[in-house]
Structure 1
Amino acid sequence: MTAQVPSIEFFEGISEELSNVSLRRNRSTGVRSVLMTFAHLKSLEKFNSFTKKFSKALLLIDTEGRISVEPSSVKFIFGGPEGDEIDRVECVFEIEREDHWERFMRFMNRYAEANGMAYGER
């Protein structure tokens, strides 16, 4: 049996490359928020989004299974000489329950290891 390579998908079957992730915690409520940044989306290239099923959520997939997350916001930031090129995509979601946070962190550790990412303080 082969191990599931950790992946992040907006559209079923199209793995996206995470450029950066920022983890925050609201000091007054304790609610954690996650900001995932993508330099580009494969699902937007070559009209892939028209040929694949939209998951209506962000899917985080690893050896433990699937995590389905509904983003509270998805922002497309444009740049380039004409201002019409996607510079990056920012996806934000909140995690309130401790067990969900622990599961998310296990996913992120696997994803980071598989993709050569490292944790750093700001």
Structure 2
Amino acid sequence: MTAKIQLAIGIDEEASDVKITRSKDGDTSVAVFIFESPNCMTGADAGNNEILGMYMIDEEGEMVTRNVNAKFINGKSAGIEAIHKLNGQNEWERFLRFMNRYAEANGMSLNKA
């Protein structure tokens, strides 16, 4: 199974950018996903899609965050930002395994600050 992200169930998305920060002690981490032109907000069915969260799906299962914010400029979609908070080493390692699979499937690479 290929790693994928969905904002509306059944509609695969490609993140425009992902920013990850981690506390010095490694206890908490935050990943911010940016979707500039999400598939769920474009096309003929855009008004009918229900966005209840961001679903990160791969062979290990599914991770979900409900912290998803749509942006609009002059009444038109300007993208979506989703924030996924991670607590502890186990969640961090699981997230990294997903991101490695997702990056490989979508031609993304890591740029360290």
Normalised TM-score (structure 2): 0.83
Bigger radius of gyration, 1 or 2?
1
AA aligned to 1:94 is K
Distance 2:80 2:95 in 1: 20
Percent identity over the alignment?
29
Aligned residues: 112
Q: Is residue 102 of structure 2 the alignment partner of residue 104 of structure 1?
A: no
Alpha-carbon shift at residue 70 of structure 1 (Å): 2.8
Normalised TM-score (structure 1): 0.77
Distance 1:68 1:21 in 2: 16
- 1:56-105 Cα distance to aligned partner (Å, 9 max, x none): 3321111222222232xx333345xxx34333321112111211111111
Structure 2 counterparts to residues 15-34 of structure 1, below 5 A:
15-27=12-24, 30-34=27-31
Q: CA RMSD in A?
A: 2.2
Cα gap change, 1:17 to 1:100, in 2 (>3 Å): same
AA aligned to 1:101 is W
Structure 2 counterparts to residues 16-95 of structure 1, below 5 A:
16-27=13-24, 30-45=27-42, 46-48=44-46, 50=48, 54=50, 56-71=52-67, 74-79=68-73, 83-95=74-86
Q: Which runs of 5+ in 1 are unaligned?
A: none
AA aligned to 1:63 is E
AA aligned to 2:15 is L
AA aligned to 2:22 is R
Name the SS for the 1:56 alignment partner.
Answer: coil
